[in-house]
Amino acid sequence: MLLDWLTKDGKLLLTARMVRTFSYGFLSIILAIYLKQVGFDDILIGVILSATLLNSVFFTLFASFYADRFGRRRILIIYAILMSAAGTIFLLTDNYLALIVAALIGTINVTGSETGAFLSIEQAILPQTVKKIKKRNTLFAFYNMGGTFAMSGGILLSGIPQILQETGWSYVESFKPLFAAYVVAGLMVVMLYLFLSKNIEVKNRHQVKAKGSPLKQLSPKSRSIVGKLSLLFSLDSFAGGFVIQSIISFWFFTRFGVDLTTLSLIFAVAGVLTAFSYILATRIADKIGLINTMVFTHIPANVLLVLLAFAPTFQIALVLHLARMALSQMDVPTRQSYIVAVVDESERTAVVGITNTSRNVAQAISPSITGVIIQSLWLSAPFVIGGMLKIAYDIGVYFNFRKIKPPEEIS
């Protein structure tokens, strides 16, 4: 039977992620374009995109401190409610201040790959839902593959505004049904989390409360690992903030005049390629190790990102983008599996929370800078900057962690 090595809680988490990322799919494509059509300039758009990422910073940090104390299930439910509330604000108004509030309180994701507050808690829980330890890498591959396939399906819906416009809807109103869909997705996630069992909670919650802050929960060895990883992840995410999916969508739309229907198809295909790459990454990791897989697949992807900036035609840009997406996310399941493997079970929520917070803080800065760069330098400059910084990250990961192996890789 499919996924018979996974508990009911694991299956609920996989389903919740798919529902969530389905809605992230269309939102990541339309949000920057919608804001542009409402009348915001590039800098204001960048501020709103950054606000969505700042939201992830705060709620990820909150989860690191309080999820194991107050209950992982309880915090997940609260976050899902806020997700639906944020969608409601986008549905009802285009007031700039209100949209900033929505971006700050909700879990709106515009990156094209989930970076939000749900991840820290879910990734800490997932190893507890595996019946066979050897299936840990496979679980993280399925977790990301399912989410990416769902996101690809959601991306296909981003062509709906164009269809509605052709039937007489106004440009702004044609986007509203997708915001309504986002609200419904949030409510569905709430329902899924309500069925999670007590088995997802940390085994000794009283001990976690006594230890205080996330850093105090870690052993000296884990603190050293987390410190280095956090710095490197900050660099990677800062670089990634220059090329989040909303910005790439905006780039295709602006440079080549690609319409929403075509954009939705492009990013859906890219999502399918990415999804299959997760399974391939797991198999490669079984052969050459998690760190080697992270680095040796990521560097070629970042070279392609730099080349994308200089693509003279839409056709060449499309090939470069799809080739990059077939490689660029192979480090995701391997990175997630590596983090939870090299620390103790009781440290996982804190470790995942701290490293994800470092990623979210850094990524929250870049979109605002990107708006300035695009206006003052060159439309494609963010691709060059992001690609070069990401290559520096890859080199840093390899030289710092090639000798620190998860238990199954130690012979």
The whole-number pLDDT of residue 69 equals 82
Q: What is the C-alpha to C-alpha distance for residues 283 and 334, in angstroms, rounded to an integer?
A: 10
- Say which residue, 349 or 175, is predicted with more confidence: 175
Whether the predicted pLDDT of 239 surpasses 60: yes
Going from N- to C-terminal start, the domains of the chain cover 8-405
> What pLDDT is recorded for position 302?
96
State the amino acid at position 273 in one-letter form.
Answer: L
- Closest alpha carbon to 66 in 222, 205, 190, 199: 205
Which residues make Cβ contacts (< 8 Å) with residue 294, sequence separation at least 6?
330, 331, 334, 335, 338, 394, 397
Separation CA 90–CA 330 (nearest Å): 33
Query: Given phi > 0 = left and psi -120 to 50 = alpha, else beta, which region is 344?
Result: beta
Q: Report pLDDT for 62.
A: 84
Query: Using 50, 70 and 90 to split pLDDT, how confident is the model at 189?
Result: very high
Return the number of other C-beta atoms located less than 10 Å from residue 173's C-beta. Answer: 11
* Amino acid 320: pLDDT: 96
Q: From CA 12, how far away is CA 18, in angstroms rounded? A: 10
**What is the chain's mean pLDDT, rounded?**
86
Which pTM value belongs to this model?
0.75
Amino acid sitting at position 21: T
- Mind listing the pLDDT tens digit for each residue in 335-358? 988 988 888 877 887 788 888 888
- Lowest model confidence (mean pLDDT) among 146-150, 176-180, 361-365: 361-365
pLDDT at 53 over 80: no
Residue 411 has pLDDT above 70, yes or no: no
Q: What is the DSSP string of 136-196?
A: HHHHHHHHHHHHHHHHHHHHHGGGHHHHHHHTT--TTGGGHHHHHHHHHHHHHHHHHHHT-
Cβ contacts of 331 within 8 Å, gap of 6 or more: 281, 293, 294, 295, 297, 298
Q: Which residue has the higher pLDDT, 93 or 411?
A: 93
* β partners of residue 6: 130
Contacts of 281 (CB under 8 A, 6+ apart): 141, 293, 297, 330, 331, 332, 333, 334
Domain 8-405, CATH number (from 1.20.1250.20, 3.90.550.10, 3.30.365.10, 3.40.50.720): 1.20.1250.20
Q: Which of 32, 38, 81, 84 is nearest to 371 (CA)?
A: 32
Query: Which one is predicted more confidently, 112 or 252?
Result: 252
Note the pLDDT tens digit of each residue in 376-400.
888 888 999 999 999 999 999 999 9
Which of the four pLDDT bands, split at 50, 70 and 90, describes residue 18? Answer: very high
Residue with tokens 């439309």: 379
Q: How far apart are CA 136 and CA 286, in angstroms?
A: 11
Q: What is the pLDDT of residues 79-102, one digit of tens each?
A: 999 999 999 998 898 888 888 888
pLDDT of 209 higher than 60: no
Question: CA nearest 151: which of 328, 27, 24?
Answer: 24
pLDDT of the residue at 212: 53
* Beta-ladder partners of 130: 6
Q: What are phi and psi of 6, to 5 degrees?
A: -120, 140
Backbone angles phi, psi at 130, to 5 degrees: -95, 130
Q: What are phi and psi of 342, to 5 degrees?
A: -95, 5
**Amino acid, single-letter form, for residue 201:** E
Q: With pLDDT > 90 as the criterion, what percentage of the chain qualifies? A: 33
Q: What is the mean pLDDT of residues 270-291?
A: 89
Dihedral, 48, 147, 77, 185 alpha carbons, nearest 10:
70
Position 210 scores a pLDDT of: 47
The CA–CA distances, whole Å, from 200 to 99, 133, 348, 378 equal 34, 16, 13, 48
Question: Is the Cβ–Cβ distance between 411 and 319 less than 8 Å?
Answer: no
With 60 as the cut, is the pLDDT of residue 403 above it? yes
Chain segment 92-141, per-residue pLDDT in tens: 988 888 888 888 888 777 765 676 678 888 988 988 888 776 777 888 88
pLDDT interval class at 324 (50, 70, 90)? very high
What whole-number distance in Å separates Cα of residue 87 and Cα of residue 22? 14
Q: Which pLDDT value is given to residue 11?
A: 92
